[in-house]
Amino acid sequence: MNNLHPYPVEYLTNPNQETLRSLTTEHTPLVFQSACGNLNKVSRNKARMAKFTYIIDAPETASRYSHSLIDLAKAAELIERQAAYIKEKGQLIEVQGFLGLGKRAVGVQWLYTLEGANIAGMQSILRFPTSEVLAEGEAFKPTFRVVYTPDLKLDDMPGGQAILVDLNTYTTYIIGPDYFGESKKAALRMLNEYAFAQGGLVLHAGAKSVQIDGVRSTMTIMGLSGTGKTTTTFSKQGEVTQPIQDDMVAIWPGGELSITENGCFAKTYGLTEKTEPVIYRGTLSSDAWVENSYLNADGTYDFFKSELSPAEVARVREVLITTGAPAENVDRYISGDLSIADVSDDSGVLKDGWEFVKWSGNGRSIIPMSSIKDAADLHNIPEVHNMGILNRDEGADACTPGIIRFTSPAQAAGFFMLGETTKTSAAGKEVGKTRSPFTQPFFPLQFGLQAKRFSELAATMPHVDMWMMNTGFVGGDARSVKEGVGFKVKIRHSSAMLEAMLKGEIVWKQDPDFGYDVVDVEHPDNAALIEKVPLAVLSPAQYYAASGRTAEYRQWVTSMKSERRAFLEKYAVDSSIISAICS
């Protein structure tokens, strides 16, 4: 970028954390200090807004992209409006840094108006500082730029906001949202296109270094939000396990891995010290940044808060109204006129305008890698030897085995392309089963390109084992399990299955319906694993048969093959990949 400072304002370049916290307290609305000393921002947006994200390009290029396009003249007008807003404000926080380290590092300049000081603080933790990449005296020359104005409202755009992505200049303009994820994903979205152009593929995946029999290697774990990607990354398997990344990495020919971030962006809902000690302790650290987690009146966090009582709504009334809750509805609920049952449909989904009676399940925390005990040396990443994907299956037709080993790169490419899971509370009203290509809603080009590129890369990585793990349920959901129907795949089950696979202790057999390998539960050498993991989790087919539900299982097999084929064909995936999973 030729002009490092394109706006005629004062630049506050790379302020330290103390300064950023002070700026946040002074300029960012709805920020509260917790009892443990960190800051918790309650944002209007509770998740990233893909529907308000647009690529800036000519209409005839639409077939190149997976995202919506915006009219070129309209984009130019919005960018000029943002520039005028920045000039009026007179100051920008500038965060300079890199995605990654070493030869694959990509320079990024993030620019924020002062009301986004909290976002700047969070981003400055996740970026790698210039001092870790540049030689002494070397000038910073960013490849990407992100310009963020959280409080500039766009009354003439859907949702009053817009995220404009210019892949020709590698600049993203974020206008209106106040959710940190837009800042984080803006640079990573551009990295997806940038790495693809250079022969790599960015994966929506965590990564960890695992040592087995004295040999270190890297394992990647793909997954949509809520599947357990971060949990799995920070759980123990093997003799020595060290987290590398929790969200995005890039894979290159031969199994080379490049990283992106210097910290962790973790979900806080349901956090306990027992189940996720690293994330729990990090979130309660004074140097963490927190977003949309529930604070009790005494400033302590409640990571399990969902339904709010009328008294609790009254306590946070102004917060709820400021972030978009209708004042009339808030006051009716406070008065006791209506209960949660009155404002929910039969499936428990809240009616429009009443979402405020349940606290967001998408609370997040930013934790620096320096606060994570036993994190890997990010300057020395071992070669990739394992690549997996998480599927949080749920419901009466949750038939995905606890762990599956793919028998060919084409089969792995097909399942990675499917990105199957069940949406969680982070999805708001969009609940139920879903598919997302490579679990990767941030890939801006046509999604089918990912399967093709992965197949090309897999051909250079014959030493890499590929697998899928169900982190949800078998034959039920949370409610039915309490009633004795179905099984929950618990964190200890996932760790036991992964460790057994990594150590080569599983005896596999081919699944007759899908062709992938499953645990041979009849083999005596698998007895130790069955002591740690319910047989039903390892072999749903046997569980359904023993429960007199064979017909349900057969219907699931038929439906999955048909649905998977239709999904892959929609994205013009190569026929050899489709055949590998749908024959």
For residue range 441-472, list pLDDT tens digits in order.
899 999 999 999 999 999 999 999 999 999 99
- In the predicted model, is pLDDT for residue 391 greater than 60? yes
CA proximity to 221, closest of 237, 205, 209, 240: 205
Mean pLDDT of 235-257: 87
pLDDT of residue 428: 47
- In the predicted model, is pLDDT for residue 416 greater than 60? yes
pTM: 0.92
How do residues 417-447 score in pLDDT, each as one tens digit?
Answer: 999 998 654 444 555 789 999 998 899 999 9
pLDDT of residue 431: 58
Strands (E), 286-372: 289-291, 294-295, 301-302, 364-368
Q: Tell me the C-alpha distance between 397 and 393, whole Å.
A: 9
Helix, strand, or coil here: 110?
Answer: strand
Mean pLDDT of 396-410: 95
Residue 408: half-sphere exposure toward Cβ, Cα within 13 Å: 13
CA proximity to 39, closest of 27, 47, 50, 51: 27
CA proximity to 551, closest of 327, 396, 384: 396
Mean pLDDT of 377-397: 93
Q: Worst-scoring range by mean pLDDT, 106-110, 363-367, 373-377? A: 373-377
Domain boundaries defined on the chain: 10-198, 202-262+378-582, 289-364
Mean pLDDT of 520-548: 96
Q: Tell me the C-alpha distance between 323 and 247, whole Å.
A: 27
Report residue 532 as tokens.
């740690």
- In the predicted model, is pLDDT for residue 229 greater than 90? no
In the chain, % of residues over pLDDT 70: 98
Mean pLDDT of 365-391: 91
Angle at 565 between CA 561 and CA 566, to 5 degrees: 120
Cβ density class 311-335: b for 16+ within 10 Å, e for less = ebbebbbebbbebebeeebbebbbe
- What's the pLDDT band for 231 if we cut at 50, 70, 90? confident
In the chain, % of residues over pLDDT 90: 87
Q: Tell me the C-alpha distance between 87 and 84, whole Å.
A: 5
CATH architecture observed for domain 10-198: 3-Layer(aba) Sandwich (3.40)
- In the predicted model, is pLDDT for residue 1 greater than 80? no
Mean pLDDT of 94-100: 98
Residue 384 φ/ψ, nearest 5 degrees: -75, 130
CA proximity to 518, closest of 405, 371, 383, 370: 405
> What is the rounded end-to-end Cα distance, in angstroms, of the chain?
50
- What's the pLDDT band for 550 if we cut at 50, 70, 90? very high
- In the predicted model, is pLDDT for residue 360 greater than 50? yes
- In the predicted model, is pLDDT for residue 227 greater than 50? yes
CATH architecture observed for domain 202-262+378-582: Alpha-Beta Complex (3.90)
What Rg, from alpha-carbon coordinates, does the chain have?
24
Q: Tell me the C-alpha distance between 174 and 183, whole Å.
A: 8
Helix, strand, or coil here: 236?
Answer: coil
The β-bridge partners of 366 are 265, 289
- What's the pLDDT band for 187 if we cut at 50, 70, 90? very high
DSSP string, 357-396: GB--S--EEEEEGGGSTT---TTSPPPEEEEEEEE---BT
Q: Which of 125-139, 202-216, 413-427 has the highest mean pLDDT?
A: 125-139
Q: Tell me the C-alpha distance between 284 and 549, whole Å.
A: 45
- Kindly report the number of other CB atoms within 10 A of residue 491's CB atom: 15
When the pLDDT of each residue in the chain is averaged and rounded to a whole number, the result is 94
pLDDT of residue 426: 44
Instruction: Characterise 160 by phi-psi region: left (phi > 0), alpha (psi -120 to 50), beta (else).
Output: left
Q: Give the distance between the most distant pair of CA atoms in the chain.
A: 73
- In the predicted model, is pLDDT for residue 377 greater than 50? yes
Q: Tell me the C-alpha distance between 445 and 247, whole Å.
A: 19
Angle at 347 between CA 342 and CA 353, to 5 degrees: 50
pLDDT of residue 329: 96
- What's the pLDDT band for 239 if we cut at 50, 70, 90? low
Instruction: Characterise 489 by phi-psi region: left (phi > 0), alpha (psi -120 to 50), beta (else).
Output: beta
